[in-house]
Structure 1
């Protein structure tokens, strides 16, 4: 309905950025008849969503299963191009927030739909993150002075806001590395973690997010693979 209000037409393509429910659970709402939009996602994302249906109640699982059956699964690690009829956009294959994330990128105007690889004015959720991959994925997003970034959570971001987000990621990494050096747990490190001065106004969905982020880094620094557990 929002697309209809803003553009005068309903969407005919939906790109799923990753498998987390707040970015994927609405797929059944688009329907499965001939008027339903085409759904793009990676094979890894579809597999994770399919696995999650095993423990779901039938009234939730059945509509999602039908939506996934008609979805177009793309390679997990290959960029792609989507023709929207007069405009082509890039689908960027990335990973970091989860084992399979995608961005949707336009050149003119320079807009990037970032999924949960980027948050703005909100501390990110590292629940399924591999932090070093997240940092690399964020660094690979081309951001210029006129860029507009649509984050997974928070208001639209410009280049300055993107820089503040990168500074937060770097602060988490630095604090985690120091915690590992002195033998502190994630909980102990979280107790005195501070956001960079320009981001102290940021909010968070949960007070546990600092500990979760630092724990993700400590897990990786210890040589464990969070994506295989």
Structure 2
């Protein structure tokens, strides 16, 4: 964050950018789970750049930004435009993993990884999970090619991503429920293709743990605000009744 204007209000994109830095630090072993949870919660509670700054100051991303003169808060403000958050996740280049196989077993691709332009997987009497919620993307359009024979593959996408399903099922099927959801500006398109025989390929849209935590915190804050409003209303009514009793006593003594 910036020392130039720490009092500036942070946006959702700012908080999410800090959350990405924290998730990378967790994956690299720089933070343990307890400290990660504490910092992540603080990030989603933060209202200003000044509150976000300490959360990444001791991490490589923060030191690099300071050394190069590109303060993270400046970068965040530049990216806090439609599609800015997604733009940081479409990284180009090659994917960190391009295939997976499960034969009477299972596989997972989850966490922070880079989805290639084409990812191919095969499941035979087994199952696989391809989780894109925290992934980066080699291109704005990626293809997940799934072959499931007496097995299954689950593709998990985050909100905002467009999903197109083009797979063929014989005594099996592909899940089309997530098609037709509007794509957020700058978000990637995920095309699910392949073949399912006595098996299935599911597509599900889920929030990340960080987003669920943020929404939980928002609901908690709303609940606290409603309680405060109720207390204020009750206090106002008590004061109104007290004033009314005082007024009636004064009238009583005037009549005497």
Q: Shorter-chain TM-score: which interval?
A: under 0.3
- For normalisation by structure 1, the TM-score amounts to 0.27
